[in-house]
Structure 1
Amino acid sequence: MTTLPGIDHPLILVRDIEAARAFYNSLGFTLTPVGQHPWGTSTSLAVMERCALELMGIYDETLIDNLEIGGFAFGRHMQEALAEREGMALVALHSTDSRADAATLKARGLISQGPVDFRRKVRPPGMDWDEAVVSLDIFLDPALPRASHFLAQQHKPHLLWRPEWMQHANGAHHIAAVTYLAQAQEKALSRLTAMFGPANPGPAGWEVPTGQGVFRVLHPADWASVYGDTPRPVLAPNVPAGAAIDIAVQDLAAVRALLARAGHDVCETASGPAVRDVAACGNVVIRFVKG
């Protein structure tokens, strides 16, 4: 099976994007200035190698139904998800040709709501104002509203992958893994394996490698075997959902020292330190791993 590029950016919904930006900055991430989508959501990114973390809030609820496609309105989906709780909403898949990748996914049996093309104003460091041009293809499974995906293609990647934005005090380089918690793992696993190929047994649960990072599917009962005493995010029961993001860094000792200087408590796991204050992370576990 041809492997799609993989994880582009997990999308973390927060009610106060400025507070979330300040907290992530204290974890050693460089955050882009807050931008705006045409469907009423605000965005700030921690840009890494071919991927990013995205913090997302809502700045204008009157716009949430803009650019509806195939019964899916990005802004409304985010508003409804955020009304339920903060946390991971969707995960974008990295694409350099979203239409071709969409055709591949549909050939593998995934249902698409269709393409969304948009522009948003950006001002990268040392540059004048410009417009990011982005193509999305939505692949939302109504049975997996918190474990679905969309393809994301940046037509002007030089506006996003700026060296100044990619320098992080914590040494963040890329997203190593996204973990879904699922009591019934079959639906989430079936979706991921249709996209990326066979799952491998991990230390606990299953791991699906992609061309960029790993998707992990973990039963809640196995949480401690992977994340130790790290608090679990508050998730709806029986609904598979994103719970944790592993950030690859070169020097775990340096990360521990940075977090200690900033006054952050961590939980040590077999793979690296996880930030104990899950709520301040936007109801998601951020863990640093060697990579």
Structure 2
Amino acid sequence: MPGGLDHIVHAVRDLDAAAEAYQRLGFSVGARNRHPFGTHNRIAQFDGFFVEILTVAEPDKIEPHRADAFSFGAFQRDYLARREGFSMLLLASRDAEADARGYAAAGIGAGEIFSFGREGQRPDGGIVKLGFSLAFARDPLSPDAGFAVCQHHHPENFWNPLFQVHANGARAAKAVVMTADNPTDHHIFLGDFTGLRDLHASSIGVTAQTECGDIDIVEPVSFRDQYGVGVTADAGGARFAGLRIAVDELAVVERLLQQNGIGATRHIDRLVVPDLCGATLIFEKGMVR
């Protein structure tokens, strides 16, 4: 069964410019990493969760989708042809093979396991080995939203408290927020994707409370009411719209953003950055479970 939130992919057209924008927001962002399948990334890491700022840098290396295999690179390329923003959510996995079998049994599987490795760099400059296995899921009503689980094969080499210190006091991801015209249309998929059967449904949306952060699917009007940002309904179903981030003190974030010329608004005890390369970042005080 999948675990809590592991990471979210923020697909951007200019990787270094987007990373600089995250740094101006007060995040510590790692160096550029190169994947053998055409994408490059830079990472902002928290305790148990990270934002993967990603671009398609070597399109000639991207493999096409096949009947038995979902192509991570092709999905990101096609997403970026339409927009920038949060493109894919990945949950933590203890056993990607088992999760893939579960997704296939539920009718939401998207092909075979995708495993790869790369080198990583420790804060002291040392090089370490990293490895990942992804099992993809597909919401047939939301073709523009990617879903997967991620199993870390060398977690001791990836997670590092020194990478998790941010000038804005960010500590954790509280929730990933999606918007949909009819959130309840995605209730069954969300349950199958997370492995949770006790979802919270209300008049404004559906929430899956994972062991590390929530997944909210809300109507566009509710997103506007809660975060002060207008979003348009997507005929392609649910899409990722915002990331709620727990910080130590909102006043610290607010001063830092003002110093760095970042536009943000206060809204219901939250500090909202409405358009960071197509995504909304929502800062709020507190911690996740």
If the length of structure 1 is used for normalisation, what is the TM-score? 0.90
Alpha-carbon distance change, 170 to 193 in structure 1, aligned in 2, over 3 angstroms = same
Cα deviations across residues 145-186 of structure 1 (Å, max 9, x unaligned)?
233311111111122212221111111111111111101323
**Residue identity in the other structure for 1:134:** F
Matched, 1:220 2:215: no
Alpha-carbon distance change, 282 to 188 in structure 1, aligned in 2, over 3 angstroms = farther
**Residue identity in the other structure for 1:145:** P
What is the SS of the residue equivalent to 1:177?
strand
Q: Which of 266, 284, 289 does residue 289 from structure 1 map onto?
A: 284
Between the two proteins, the alignment pairs up a number of residues equal to 284
Shift of 1:42: 0.6
Counterparts of 1:5 and 1:117, CA distance in 2: 19
> Does the Cα contact within 8 Å between 1:147 and 1:180 map onto a contact in 2?
no
Tell me what 1:210 maps to.
Answer: 210
Tell me what 1:89 maps to.
Answer: 87
Cα deviations across residues 190-230 of structure 1 (Å, max 9, x unaligned)?
211223223224684222211111111111122222112x3
If the length of structure 2 is used for normalisation, what is the TM-score? 0.90
Shift of 1:144: 1.7
Cα deviations across residues 3-61 of structure 1 (Å, max 9, x unaligned)?
63121111110000000000000001111111011110011111111110111001101
Matched, 1:186 2:184: yes
Matched, 1:57 2:52: no
Within 5 Å, which residues of 2 pair with 1:69-218? 70-194=68-192, 195=194, 196-201=196-201, 204-218=204-218
What is the SS of the residue equivalent to 1:191?
helix
Within 5 Å, which residues of 2 pair with 1:6-25? 6-25=4-23
Alpha-carbon distance change, 50 to 77 in structure 1, aligned in 2, over 3 angstroms = same
Mean CA deviation greater in 208-217 or 123-132: 123-132
What is the SS of the residue equivalent to 2:268?
coil
Counterparts of 2:207 and 2:181, CA distance in 1: 15
Shift of 1:269: 2.0
Counterparts of 1:9 and 1:136, CA distance in 2: 12
Alpha-carbon distance change, 4 to 211 in structure 1, aligned in 2, over 3 angstroms = farther
Alpha-carbon distance change, 68 to 172 in structure 1, aligned in 2, over 3 angstroms = farther
What is the SS of the residue equivalent to 1:285?
strand
Structure 1 stretches lacking a partner, 5+ long:
none
Counterparts of 2:285 and 2:118, CA distance in 1: 34
> Does the Cα contact within 8 Å between 2:100 and 2:109 map onto a contact in 1?
no
Counterparts of 1:90 and 1:227, CA distance in 2: 21
**Residue identity in the other structure for 2:111:** Q
Alpha-carbon distance change, 111 to 206 in structure 1, aligned in 2, over 3 angstroms = same
What is the SS of the residue equivalent to 1:289?
strand
Amino-acid identity (%): 27
Let me know the Cα RMSD of the aligned residues. 2.2
What is the SS of the residue equivalent to 2:242?
strand
Q: Which of 13, 33, 36 does residue 34 from structure 2 map onto?
A: 36
Alpha-carbon distance change, 128 to 69 in structure 1, aligned in 2, over 3 angstroms = farther
What is the SS of the residue equivalent to 1:165?
helix
Structure 2 stretches lacking a partner, 5+ long:
none
Counterparts of 1:202 and 1:18, CA distance in 2: 40
> Does the Cα contact within 8 Å between 2:113 and 2:134 map onto a contact in 1?
yes
